[in-house]
Each structure stands twice: as C-alpha cells, then as structure tokens.
Structure 1
C-alpha cells in the first residue's frame, strides 16, 4: 500500500504542478497587478518560466522522499542530495558564466538539477532491495486513493503555505515602500537567510514526523513524546549556533548577497530581529512535524492561518507602513506571527490526549506520506 500511496501522491503533484505552471507563466502581469516595479516583474518572469519544468520534478522528489523516510531509509537520500548539489553548482556556473545565459541560467540549472535528483531517486526505489515489499510497480489502483490522500494532503499543504506565503508577502510589501529596490533586496536577503537556516529544522521536522507517526501507530506513546523532546532540543541548539555565527559575521554573510555597502549596513540592523525569528522558526518547525505525525494537519493549518494572516501580516503593515519602521517593522510583524504559531503548537502538543492520538493514527496510516 505504501507504493500505491506514493503513486496517488504523484498524481496529485502532477495536477497541482500543472496549475502552478500556468500561474508562473503569467508571473509578469500578476506582479504588475500587485503593484511591483515593471523591471523587477519582468526579471522575475524570466526566472519563473525557465523553472516551470523543475516544479514537476520537485513534486515527484517530495513524494519519493516521504516514501523513503516512512521506511527509515535516510542515508541514500543524503548521498543523492550531495551529488545533486554538486551537479547543480557546476551547472549553474557553467550556464550563467561559461554559456553566457546570465540570469536565465540560474533557473535552467535548477530545473535540470531537480530532474537529475528525481531520476536518481526513481532508479534507487525501482532496483533497491529496501523496497521490494513496498514498491510493486505502476498500478491503476492509485487513482482510487487520490481523494483519501487529498483529505490529508490539503491541510498539510495549507499549514505550510500559510507560513511560506507570509515570508513571500513580506517581499511584495517591501516593494511598495519608498526606495523599493533597497527595501526589497534587504527583506529578500532576510527571507533567504531564514530559508537556508530552516533547512536544518526541516530535516528535524521530517524526522520527528516519521518517528511520531510510527511510534504512535505502534502504541509507543512514551517514545513518541521523547522523540519530540529530543528533536526540539537539538533543533534549538543548532539554531542557537547559527544565530551566534550570524551575529559575529553578519557583514560577511551579507556580502554574499550584495556588494552595496548601504544594504550591508542595513542588514546589520536587521540581524537581532533575524536571530529571534530563526529561534522561533526552529521550534515551530519541529512542533509542526509532530503535528503532521499525529494527524493534526487541520489544527496546524488553522494555527498558521491565524498566526500569520490575522496577526503577523497585519502587524507587519502596522509597524512597517503606519509606524514607518520600514523593513524592520515588516520583520517585527513576522516575529509576532512566529511567536504566536510556536506558542499555540506547543500548547496543542502539551495538552493533547495521546491515547486518542494513538487510535486516530492507526486509522490514518496514509498520513506518513503526506
């Protein structure tokens, strides 16, 4: 059945990728409608159009990763990730500089790298002995499980989208400020720094989701709780190391993004706020993974909706535009959303009735792939 669930998830990914591709193709008019500067919108459109093939590969990769993680197959995934990262670095440099494609070369290399990564995963799943009992080949039965998968996939997607979109909306809001090019660059640097740091938390989130789902499904409630405690401590510990490193070398880090001395100077003022958001994000990432493992996707989705759309973003507009704190104000609002999100998820985790979670998890084994 794991193989069937994998295929049903892939079907959903194909459909959604096709819909997103249409939006990406019309990136320029959409951004102009959102009152972004035409030159910026045009450059973004060029990047997104060449990235369209990559979104299909990315969807397949996410399905395959969950398929492997649900069976505690991890190290081969690490190897494939390292290989694809090296290939991507070589491709990006070759297409941008050697081939002279410039800005277009970045998205083309990303699309090619994603497809290479997916092919490696697909070949591994097809021929590895690890999956001889869970991969039985292509089956039409997968279409029967599309709707049941969607019931868990939609809340899972929403809980992620409500958070990710909040970060991206900050970049759009920065484009509405005076000296929009500088403010957009500054917020984009902060968003990218947050995203890079979150990759550490994302690994812990995936691990705790798998551990909690497997342990609660087996009736090992104490082990599930212990997995959450250990993972949460590790995530915050590593985030603290990142924060300390960022505080000591923020000018060096900013220079990787821009050579503009004014932007580098402004980034130093953002560093304390960025450190706070990284710590909150590291905590909520693990708690969100625990929520997925317990089948609480709907609760987490509502939490993220309220925390970011009803609290974080309105406060960001208040601080940034009305109080005229500009970029710092936008990020302060986001921190309020992250704090609300992490606090709510922590309360849900502490006050849940785990015996009931055990019963719910046994009836929803598909969620480990969502």
Structure 2
C-alpha cells in the first residue's frame, strides 16, 4: 500500500512538472481570467491593443508638435482677452484673419515637402532634401511679403467685409505687430516637414514645446511689465514664432546627423522653385479651404448684434474645434504610414485592420475630448476671458460643440488619409484600401 501511495505521489509530481513546463503560470492564469470574466477577450474584439498602441506612440509627437505651434498665437489671444471685451474681440478676429490669410497658407505651402522630401529620402537622394527645403523657404518668403501687405491694411479690408469698426481697428493693430512672426512661421513649417520626412519626430516635441513654454513668460512680461499692453500680445507671438523657427534651424545646421541631407545653402535651389510650387499651390488650396470652413464663422459672427460677444464666443468655439481636429489629423498621419507599410509588403488585410483601428481611436479620443469639455468648459472659457457672460454663453454652446467634434472625428482621419494618398499620386479609385473604406461608408 505504501509503495502504491509513493508511486501515485511521484506520478502527480511529474504531471505538475510537465504542466508547468508546457504552460507558464501567468499564461494559464490569463486563460482562466479570459475564460471566467471574458473582459480581455471582449476588449480585444473591440480594439487591437497592440496596433492601437503603435499608432498612438507614432502620432503623439506629431499631435504635440502641431498643438504647440498652434498654441503660440492662441496664448497671446488669451492674454489679450483678460484686458477687456474689445481687446478679446479684436484679438480673436485678428487671430482668425491671420490663420485664414497667412498661417494656413504657409502650412499648405510646406505640404509639398511631404512628397518631395519623402521621395528624395526614399530614393536615397539625400542632397535633394536640403535643396527642396531651401526652395520651399524662398517660396514662403515671397508669399509672406504679399500676405504682410494684406495684413497691413487689415482695418480697411475688415470694414469692407462689414465688420464692426472698433473691433476692426483693434484687430488691425494686433495684426501689424504679428507681421514679423509670419516670416518665421513659413520656414518653421518647412523645417518641420523636412524632419518628418526623415522620421525624426521625437526631437520635434522638445523643439516645439520649449518655445511655447518660453512664450508664457514673454507674453506676460510684454503685456503686464511694459507700456505695450495690448500690443505686447502679438509682439510676443512674433518673438516666440522666431524662436520656434531658429531652434530647429540650428538643430539641422549644427547636428552631424543631417550632413547627408543638409549640405549648406546652394544657388541650385532656385532651379527647383517651380517644381516645388506646382505641388505647394495645390496643397495650400486644400489646407486653406479646410481652415476657411471654420474661420469664416468668426467673420459671420461679426455681422450679428452685440458683435463683441458673438465674435469672441464663435472664435473660442472654432479654436476648440481646431485643437480637437489636430488630434484626429495626427492619427491620420500614423494611419497613412502604417497602411503604406502594409500595402508595400502586400498585406492588404492588415492594412484594412490598421485603418479600422485608427477610426476607432479617433472616435475614442473625440469622446475623451467631449467629456473633458463637458466637465471643464467653464475652466476653458475662463482662459480667454474673466467675463461671467462669456463663460455662461460658452456653456450654452458646449453641447453643439461636442456634437460637432464627435461627428468630425471620422472625416478628419479619412480626409487626412486620402489627402496623403493623393500626395503620393495615387488615385483613390485605384487603391484597394480606399475602395474598401468607400464600400463601408456606402
């Protein structure tokens, strides 16, 4: 009997050892949890966590960089808003006018480098990246001169558009001190595309976060510690925009990493101006039309009664919508990269899966933004003005703004994705993934 018990014990020990050797304890526990609760299995069916993590990590630097550049003139508007109702209305109208006629144009003109530098880097023609960058900066400088003339006569143009004379005068004063920043914004966007084409994104986070951090101190000092007052806000934005251009420029010039792609200034770049301009104009038209759809609302608000209040409110809503749009557009950049990689490898099913994950992430992040806005709308409006009336009126517009952000999340991803496919000279009707998306939408 004793021998039988010893034998049985030895057999059980061997069975446990074999089970442990073949099935790790954590894995077995995970299987039991999945089998019991089903939570992990349910979540994995809703969202591919690994794919989502990769896309978020790739798009997060781009989102932070875009928001940082956008925040420099926005912070100046916030400081202006605490000086009074007229100052807030003038600054918000000027900021919208600046994006409509200048910043959006410069952002669009730099879009040509996504194609030119991307193709040059892929073809290992590294010298051409620096040539294209210089050609694009020349184009930006030329258009900055034209736009600055338009900005100088802002008051006359806004009055011609039936805007309030007092607000137009305040906006014109703001715009004149913002003109120097325009000449820095264009080159900064070109350098940004130059670095992104080489998959250098993490240094951009630091190079864009530092200027916005410094901007808070600069704008506070010029507005409250000098006699400039209201004029100090746009002047601070111009100073910070120049800092945001000089930092990445010095990084490119001084770093040995860019010796193959940046070989110094060359007169050869003048020969590629028209090559760059052909792509730049179409890209600028696309970006401008997208931004004008938002910013034109601010001009329409100036036609309504009590234009000081309505202009400030609509401009705050447009700004909120623009920041939310940057998140989904950053995701579209990650999606286009992932899908391009999978299609290049011939994995069409995985490309479809990657795009599906991006759409789910866009909706999820939009809901997070909406919830944040729902519980913190008073805090957000308080950053622009101390007026209880403006904060109260913004709260009444929050539900409509939440609906707009939610509905705009999916088109934001798809538009950015299809735009990038078009920039790669691919017709959507000839692309299997776009056909798949269109079928799903139909």
TM category (shorter chain) comes to 0.7 to 0.9
Shift in alpha-carbon separation, 1:221–1:116, aligned structure 2, 3 A: farther
* Paired position in structure 2 for 1:163: 290
- Contact preservation (8 Å) 1:212, 1:293: no
Shift in alpha-carbon separation, 1:49–1:205, aligned structure 2, 3 A: farther
Give 5+ residue unaligned stretches, structure 2. Answer: 1-127, 435-442
* Paired position in structure 1 for 2:383: 256
- Contact preservation (8 Å) 1:152, 1:297: no
Aligned partners of 2:433, 2:335: CA distance in 1, in Å? 19
Compute the TM-score of the two structures, normalised by the length of structure 1. Answer: 0.75
* Paired position in structure 2 for 1:150: 277
Aligned pairs for 1:104-115 (under 5 A) are 104-115=231-242
Whose radius of gyration is greater, 1 or 2?
Answer: 2
String of CA shifts for 1:260-297, please: whole Å, max 9, x gaps: 33322222221111112222333333223222321259
Aligned partners of 1:100, 1:267: CA distance in 2, in Å? 32
Aligned partners of 2:234, 2:418: CA distance in 1, in Å? 33
- Contact preservation (8 Å) 1:9, 1:146: yes
- How far does residue 213 in structure 1 lie from its aligned partner after superposition? 6.1
Shift in alpha-carbon separation, 1:215–1:42, aligned structure 2, 3 A: farther
Aligned partners of 1:37, 1:276: CA distance in 2, in Å? 30
Shift in alpha-carbon separation, 1:298–1:99, aligned structure 2, 3 A: farther
- How far does residue 206 in structure 1 lie from its aligned partner after superposition? 4.2
**Residue 198 in structure 1 maps to residue 325 in structure 2:** yes
158-167 or 19-28, larger mean C-alpha shift = 158-167
- Contact preservation (8 Å) 2:223, 2:229: yes
Aligned partners of 2:416, 2:227: CA distance in 1, in Å? 42
Q: What SS does structure 1 have at the residue aligned with 2:265?
A: coil
Number of residue pairs matched by the alignment: 306
Aligned partners of 1:68, 1:285: CA distance in 2, in Å? 23
Q: What SS does structure 2 have at the residue aligned with 1:42?
A: helix
* Paired position in structure 2 for 1:75: 202
- Contact preservation (8 Å) 2:351, 2:433: no
* Paired position in structure 2 for 1:189: 316
* Paired position in structure 1 for 2:392: 265
**Residue 282 in structure 1 maps to residue 409 in structure 2:** yes
- How far does residue 55 in structure 1 lie from its aligned partner after superposition? 0.9
Select which of 13, 25, 34 maps to 2:152.
Answer: 25
- How far does residue 132 in structure 1 lie from its aligned partner after superposition? 2.4
- How far does residue 86 in structure 1 lie from its aligned partner after superposition? 0.7
Compute the TM-score of the two structures, normalised by the length of structure 2. Answer: 0.64
* Paired position in structure 2 for 1:86: 213
Aligned partners of 2:401, 2:209: CA distance in 1, in Å? 28
161-170 or 54-63, larger mean C-alpha shift = 161-170
RMSD over aligned Cα atoms: 2.6
Aligned partners of 2:433, 2:360: CA distance in 1, in Å? 26
Give 5+ residue unaligned stretches, structure 1. Answer: 300-347, 358-370
- How far does residue 33 in structure 1 lie from its aligned partner after superposition? 0.7
Select which of 173, 178, 181 maps to 2:300.
Answer: 173
String of CA shifts for 1:131-176, please: whole Å, max 9, x gaps: 2222222222222222222222212111111121122211111111
* Paired position in structure 1 for 2:75: none
Q: What SS does structure 1 have at the residue aligned with 2:142?
A: helix
String of CA shifts for 1:163-209, please: whole Å, max 9, x gaps: 21122211111111122222112111111211233332343344445
32-41 or 274-283, larger mean C-alpha shift = 274-283
Q: What SS does structure 2 have at the residue aligned with 1:249?
A: helix
* Paired position in structure 2 for 1:354: 431
- How far does residue 12 in structure 1 lie from its aligned partner after superposition? 1.4
